[in-house]
Each structure stands twice: as structure tokens, then as C-alpha cells.
Amino acid sequence: RKEVEQDPGPFNVPEGATVAFNCTYSNSASQSFFWYRQDCRKEPKLLMSVYSSGNEDGRFTAQLNRASQYISLLIRDSKLSDSATYLCVVRSYNTDKLIFGTGTRLQVFP
Amino acid sequence: GAGVSQTPSNKVTEKGKYVELRCDPISGHTALYWYRQSLGQGPEFLIYFQGTGAADDSGLPNDRFFAVRPEGSVSTLKIQRTERGDSAVYLCASSLDSNSGNTIYFGEGSWLTVV
């Protein structure tokens, strides 16, 4: 079983739609959680960190459920420019490496 | 530029050849990471340096892969006797230090094709 699991998609949604991505992680010692965005043939870039209390950044909302070892990302009012792959990432407290999921591909159409 | 710089950006090599990929981290960043990403997959951890030493090399797939960071800045990933399965994009990243609160920044990657 992979340490971080995501539905690879693709998710095809119209502009203005709300879309949610989910991610599960297997290592209960995981301490830090992130969503990264990766455009085609580009490097991953940090979208947002995920905090236990949940956090919002504009149209993006991230949630963490430690008991279920589950992370989510909600995108409201989707834009064409949101089309990308969204990578779920975890980091354990006893190691400094980031563990990535396979990514979920989002395609927003007009 | 001020970002993580990787060279070459593209490399085509023949099976069995030796390859070196270079990473120049953001100035002042002591932590440096190497990842490998294959098509349709997320980045896969290879090795991480804190300063000059390899703090965790558990992701190196076999002894054909080796990485160094002799002066605590530039790092080189070395692949011996390349195989077609080594074809991937090799991503380097750096952060201020290994503190979990620090953002990790990626370079644009070195795209390796083994023919």
C-alpha cells in the first residue's frame, strides 16, 4: 500500500464549479501536510499547508482529519487557470523528506 | 535567478552510459533533496542532504545511484550504467533547513531519457 493515496482523476469540471480532492495517508506519525500544484512539464509548487483546524486561502480550503488520516482540498468557483495536477504531500516528524501522492489531475473547461 | 537551478535541463544518453545531474540550491539553503518523477506518478524521494552529509539516502533505488554535496551547496546526482527504466525527470529541491515548517522549493528538473 502506498504511503499517500489519491484518486488520479482526471476531474473534468466547468468553470465556476466546486471540486473536492481527497487523500489518505498510512503513517500515523505524519506531522505536516501540504497540497502542491504541478502544471504540465513544470516543477511542483506549494499551494498551501494543511492545518488541523482547517485553513482557507481565497477559493481554496484544506482540511485535515488526523483520526481518519485523511486530507482534503476544496476549490470553489473553478477557473480555467486551476487546471493542473494537485499533489497531496505528507512529512513525518522523524524524517525530513516529503512523501508525495500520485496527484489528482484537474481539467476546468469553459 | 534566485531559484533552484538544475543542469542539464534535458539529457539523452545511451543505455549503459554514466550520467551526472547538477543542482544549485537557493543561496543559504542548507537542506537539499533529490526526487525522481516518472510519467503519471508523483515525485519519489531519493536522497536528502543536511549540509554536506546525506541525512537520508533510503530512496536511492540501487548502488548505481549516488549523490554528493561536498561543500554543502551544489549537489551532483550520479547514475552509473544507465538503464531505460532510469528515464524520468529528476527534481532537486532545497529549503532553509530541515525544520518541518520551512517551505521546500523545487527546480525545474533534469529530464533524462535513456535510449
Average pLDDT over residues B31-45: 95
pLDDT number for residue A1? 75
Other residues' Cβ atoms within 10 Å of the Cβ of residue A14: 9
pLDDT, tens only, B57-111: 999 999 999 999 999 999 999 999 999 999 999 999 999 876 766 788 999 999 9
Min Cα distance A110 → chain B (Å) is: 25
Residues 6 or more apart whose CB falls under 8 angstroms from that of B37 comprise B43, B44, B88, B89, B90, B91, B109
Cβ separation B106–A43 shorter than 8 A? yes
pLDDT number for residue A81? 97
Residues 6 or more apart whose CB falls under 8 angstroms from that of B40 comprise A8, A102
Q: How far apart are CA B5 and CA A19, in angstroms?
A: 34
pLDDT, tens only, A4-46: 999 998 999 999 999 999 999 998 888 889 999 999 999 999 9
> Which residue is associated with the grid cell 534535458?
B10
pLDDT, tens only, A88-103: 999 877 677 889 999 9
Average pLDDT over residues B7-23: 97
pLDDT number for residue B100? 64
pLDDT, tens only, B97-114: 767 667 889 999 999 999
Q: How far apart are CA A44 and CA A75, in angstroms?
A: 18
pLDDT number for residue A30? 81
Higher per-residue pLDDT: B34 or A95: B34
Give contacts of A96 with chain B, Cβ < 8 Å: 31, 48, 50, 55-56, 98, 100
Residue A72 pLDDT > 80: yes
Average pLDDT over residues B33-41: 95
How far is Cα of residue A34 from the mean position of the Cα atoms in its chain? Answer: 7
pLDDT number for residue B1? 53
> Best mutation site among B29, B37, B92, B108 for testing chain A: the one with the most A CBs within 10 Å?
B37
SS3 of A52, please? Answer: coil
Q: How far apart are CA B74 and CA A79, in angstroms?
A: 38
pLDDT number for residue B103? 85
The cell for B86 is 532510469
Cβ separation A98–B104 shorter than 8 A? yes
Residue B18 pLDDT > 90: yes
Give the B-side interface with A, CB within 8 Å.
31, 33, 35, 40-45, 48, 50, 55-56, 59, 91, 98, 100-101, 103-104, 106-109
> Which residue is associated with the grid cell 468557483?
A77
